[in-house]
Every structure is written in structure tokens, then in C-alpha cells.
Amino acid sequence: MAYFDAASTEPLHPQAREALIAALDVGWADPARLYGPARRARMLLEQARTEVAEALGARPDEVSFTSSGTQAVHLGVLGALHGRRRVGRRLVTSAVEHSSVLHAAGVHERDGGSVETVGVGLTGAVDPAAFREAVLAEGTALACLQSANHEVGTVQPIAEAAAACAEAGVPLLVDAAQTAGRMPLPGGWSVLAASAHKWGGPAGVGVLVVRKGTRWRSPLPEDERERRRVPGFENVPAIVASAAALRAMAAESAGESARLSALVDRIRTEVPRLVPDVEVIGDPVARAPHIVTFSCLYVEGEALLTELDKAGFAVSSGSSCTASTLRPSHVLEAMGVLTHGNVRVSLPRGASSADVDRFLAVLPDMVRRIREDAGIKS
């Protein structure tokens, strides 16, 4: 099986596996206690915090560990809004944010707040001028913008958004799930959320970073753990493994990102050449190095994914229609691009050129057969 779904989850990094196994033996105790094994667990936890902070350009005391990237986003969004409730009840987001941001925004609306959604262009990027105008509006408490889109890979103008937020005195929350460990993070943000399994750490560890001076108040009942930001017992072995994976991915990122980006360029070029009636989606240049998405006209995404699975390729679809809703991806809809017959290829660390060549070799005949079964001849 050629695994091409790293945007969903990156395979566990070898250094994370080693760190996890070692930490299971020595980091199992409660880090809040005072006896020997607990002090050892606390030391491992704080060392991991320091390593993650360094990789993300933050201070260790700004970093908290959560149970997932989704929880980090929820706490980041709702905590910042709660902390700035006296300033205003207005939240600004882009139309292509991850569902975790949109769900938090929905909670905010049901609680009496308002949400302004800034649209995107055909590449999936927000217009910096439109984002600035939205942020400068009176009563804005928080702005949210992802570092890169999880479905199409387009990088967002974080530096320009941060400058607009600084001008308005509004904190910026950045969802860095798709770029942490892979690309440098622009500065200027106030709150950052990330997910360890996206960079080769184990599932079940998220990262919430709240800059010093940012008004933030937990929307959950208070707990003494994690700077009173995140309730519950810390999973020290998984956190140690996550830090090891982030450190390793960041060290490898320059060479590996360039290699994966070249493979993505090959897919972006060859798919429309080999397959008729295909739209390659997202910015061809300002993009995450490992993600490429394309849509095939007259093809159901589920059917194509099933055929690719039979041929030994694990990919996903941005269309993600379900039988109950029949609703395509909100990202593709917001971009105004073809929403059906969608395939997202996201290359993990170590993805081979041979597997990409094999993918390009089998794809044209698959699309042709699916179209013929539907009564359409290419």
C-alpha cells in the first residue's frame, strides 16, 4: 500500500516510536506528585515542552498540551473570546478554516456572539485587504486564520493578517496543523494550535500556545494541570514522543519538503495531461509542500477512492460527501471549484518517486472506466 494521506495523519516517526517506548518505562507516574518517579515524569514533560516551544518559536511557559489538535483549537478560540468578552463578541474567520474552528464559531454564535466569514479566491487564499477590513471592525475580539489549508494546501497570508491584527489590537489565532514541523511559521500570532499526529507524533496530543500578554480564559471548569488551561492527566509518554517527532521533522524539513514538493509538482503537471476534464485545485506555488488536490469531472469521488484503494493507494477526498447530508466540502464550495470526483494526495515523509509514478500510471484508466460505467466516454 502506498500511503498518500499524510494530511489526515502522518505515520509515526521512528524517533517518536523510540521515545515513546522509552518513556513508557520511566514517564508513567503523575507529574504533579513529589516522589521520585513523579519528579522524573515532570522532568520529561517539561523537557518536551521546552523542545516544542523552541520548534514553534514560543516560550515554554506559553505551551500547553491538549488531548488533540481539535481540543487545542476549541480551547484557543473559545478561551480567547472568553478572555476578551468585554472588548466585543465578534469573531473573524476565513471561509476555509478546519471544521474545528467552524464548530467553535458555532458555539460562539449560539452563546450570543457574531461571526464574520471572509471569503477566498479560486486558489483558496483570503484577500489580505478584505481580512484587514473585517478585523478593523468595531467589537472584534478574535481573528482566526489557518497557516495552510488542509484540503488543498494553499498557504494563507499569515504575515499580512498578523499585521492587520496588530493594527487593530486584535489577537490572531493560527491553526498550524498542516505546517508545524514542515514549514517555518510566520510570527505575529497570539494563539497557535497544532496536532502531533500531523507531524509524525502519536495521536492524542495537541498543542495550544498562548502568547504572554494575550487575554485568555478557559471556557472549561478550572483544573490545576497545564497552566490551568487544559484539564486532565497529561499523557507524558505520548507528549515526549510528540516532541521527538517534531524535533526530527523540523530537522529534516528543508531537504524533505523540497523533495516532496517536487513530487507534488509532478502530480500537478501530469494529472491534467494524462486525464481529460480535470481541475487541479489550490495555489501552485504558495502551498504546503506535501498536498495536491484535483477534481475529475463526471466522476464520483467515492468510486475513485475505492478503485485507488484496490490498486494499493491510500488517498482521501476533499468532497467527503455523506449519504445523510450529500453536502460537498465547504472548502471547495468556498473556492468556487469543482467539488465532485475530488482526490487529495498528501505525501508523507519518505514517499517514493516510484509510488508517484505508479499512481500516475494507473489513474487515467481508472477514471476512464468509472466514466464509461456512468455512460460517459472520455
As annotated, the active-site residues are 321
Name residue, grid cell 500531523.
198
Q: Is 21 helix (H, G, I), strand (E, B) or coil?
A: helix
Contact of 149 with 331, CB cutoff 8 Å: yes
Q: For the chain, state the CA radius of gyration.
A: 21
Residue whose C-alpha is closest to residue 232's, from 35, 71, 64, 66: 66
Closest CA to 295 of 305, 287, 286, 310: 305
> Residue 376 has what DSSP assignment?
-
Please provide the DSSP assignment of 214-253 as one string: -----SS---SSGGGTS-S---HHHHHHHHHHHHHHHHHH
Q: Which of 32, 42, 10, 34 is nearest to 239 (CA)?
A: 42
Which is it for strands 63-66 and 172-175: parallel, antiparallel or unpaired? unpaired
CA dist., res. 307 & res. 350, Å (int): 24
